[in-house]
Amino acid sequence: MASFKTPVSEYMTQPILGVPTTASALEADRLLDEHAISALGVLDGDHLVGVISRTDLLSAASGESGETFSIPDEPVKRHMTADPVTVDVSTPLDAVAKRMLADRIHRVFVTKDGVPIGVCSTRDLMRAVYDQRIAQPAIEIATRGVVKVKVDDSLSLAVSRLDASNKHGLVVVDEGWPVGVFSQVDALAARARDPRTAVDDVMNLRILALPPNIPLYVAAGQALALEVRRILLVDDREIQGVVSTFDFARVVR
């Protein structure tokens, strides 16, 4: 039986990428793109006081339905999530996963003697599942409610559906077949585009479609190698479910 009692230090990412409280939301957006990550720590001197994520930036973006939206040129402290969750460097990985599930978060910051030294994300939990060779069928942890948009739907509709669904990404389909994803990353990258632009012009083409009963560790390994955050489980052209990095927390807990 797999054990996830390994200290979080074995799977955390170092160092913490962060911005000062005075940095602008635009600067945070640039750094997120540059480092291909989903969140940054917000620092007041050496103290971690918040986290600014793509979710926060998308919430901060202004624009009415049917209009181009924009990220405000304002300090990140106005839009960050304050008091980020921290765990000690010695905390077992399963306890970290439980905390993520309880707080519905995708990352925790790791501290040593009260000083932040790293971050552990749900993607790191995916790596742990791969290392432990967990053979459980992927469909058993999949989210069944898949929110879709069609390739010819407009950018404004996709952004609205992304916001209303409270999900980090939508599946883009062409005659029912998954051909891409439209995520918060894609919404932010397309913010200057005409809102009437078709989704297939701005979607992410990097997708991973696998059979529902594939062993989790195989799915995790492929997702890590291809640097994708969502695994589509497809059977006979029908999407049976989606496994996101967050779903791996339920395996590790």
Each residue of 104-119: pLDDT tens digit?
999 999 999 989 999 9
User: Is 122 within 8 Å of 96 (Cβ atoms)?
Assistant: no
Q: pLDDT band at residue 36, thresholds of 50, 70 and 90? A: confident
For residues 188 and 91, membership in a common domain is answered with no
The token pair that represents 102 in the structure block: 């309880």
Which pTM was predicted? 0.88
For residues 161 and 125, membership in a common domain is answered with no
Strand order in the sheet with 39-44: 18-20, 39-44, 47-53, 81-82
For residues 225 and 197, membership in a common domain is answered with yes
The token pair that represents 27 in the structure block: 């600067």
d(CA 187, CA 42): 23
The token pair that represents 174 in the structure block: 């062409």
173 lies in a domain?
Answer: yes
Q: Which of 131, 156, 181 is the last residue of a domain?
A: 131
28 lies in a domain?
Answer: yes
Q: Give the number of domains in the chain.
A: 2
Residue 228's CB: how many other CB atoms inside 10 A? 16
Residue among 55, 99, 111, 145 at smallest CA distance from 249: 99
Each residue of 150-164: pLDDT tens digit?
999 999 999 889 888
For residues 100 and 201, membership in a common domain is answered with no
Range of the domain at 169: 138-245
pLDDT of 62: 63
Q: Which of 131, 148, 169 is the last residue of a domain?
A: 131
253 lies in a domain?
Answer: no
Residue 166 pLDDT exceeds 80: no
Each residue of 13-29: pLDDT tens digit?
999 999 999 999 999 99
Which residue in this structure is represented by tokens 């999407």?
Answer: 239
> What average pLDDT does range 185-201 have in this prediction?
89
Residue 165 pLDDT exceeds 90: no
Which residue in this structure is represented by tokens 């939508």?
Answer: 170
pLDDT of 68: 55
Each residue of 38-81: pLDDT tens digit?
899 999 988 999 999 988 988 887 654 445 567 889 999 999 99
User: Is 207 within 8 Å of 244 (Cβ atoms)?
Assistant: no
30 lies in a domain?
Answer: yes
For residues 119 and 199, membership in a common domain is answered with no
Residue 98's CB: how many other CB atoms inside 10 A? 15
For residues 120 and 167, membership in a common domain is answered with no
For residues 101 and 142, membership in a common domain is answered with no
d(CA 210, CA 32): 28
The token pair that represents 47 in the structure block: 């103290």
CATH of residue 204: 3.10.580.10
Report the mean per-residue pLDDT for the chain: 92
